[in-house]
Chain A
């Protein structure tokens, strides 16, 4: 996994509460055999008309939002099923950061496993950020737990172990591989 230290990027806002994993990625796309390639189907029902043309009214389809990597949204983002396909779809689309009022538990953990940073901010901050982000790039500084835009700063907090994993770009497997000497010793003894 790529380390996440500082991310600079543009943000889009979908200020709705309870965006569930079915909306993020509908179940008819779960039969894929890859972990990648889900981005095309992100927010599928909102993003496309019935004839698969783009719905011009959907936020992400607007010209101004064609290179966003940060999503500002409402409460309880990612509720519903446990599918890891939800963070897979968001990262595959290009998102690196989700700023919400709160997150569903499983989604929150799944996000970290996939290098996606979920940030909790209150409504007032999110509204301000949303306005400011219309014309400016945001800087997300994980080390110092700040979102910066122009001269404004918004502080957030992230659980230590999860933060460290992201900062160092460690996934569970990399962490286990830090025990490589012990695994090797075990294998040698078992022979």
Chain B
């Protein structure tokens, strides 16, 4: 009887410590995202150049939504990765769209003049679109599959490995579901080439699926 009770007490204490220990292994900076698996919130916004982009018109393609700002240092860090993505996936069923977050048109333009980048960026007045995606800060990148669903969110600067593997798998699955996606052809080797790309910098970036 005595031993039985001691065992129960020990088990309870161990369970409690286990919960606390599990808490220690979790990164408090990583916040849960509610948007993953949901339909990507729609928007129709003006680009820096004065055109407009309607997200719904991009259905059938993989869309990378990259929230950024000229005042954001990690955004500079990830910029080459985006440039590489723009170069590699151009015309292959992937659209890269920047969303300017809490910034002015002139500052955002100056940033792109300095750092390059030919993909469009849209302005998000009052951060309405950022809020609709659940953005905490920049940079954040959302991967939208061809059916218009958010499949992944990345907080912090992107790495080439992460971007390419995610996009490739999205293109591959899109190919399986819809055989007429011509865009998916010719991208199979990209993932392998990517090994030479920039290494993970370990700068606090987190990916959620």
Co-complex (A, B): no
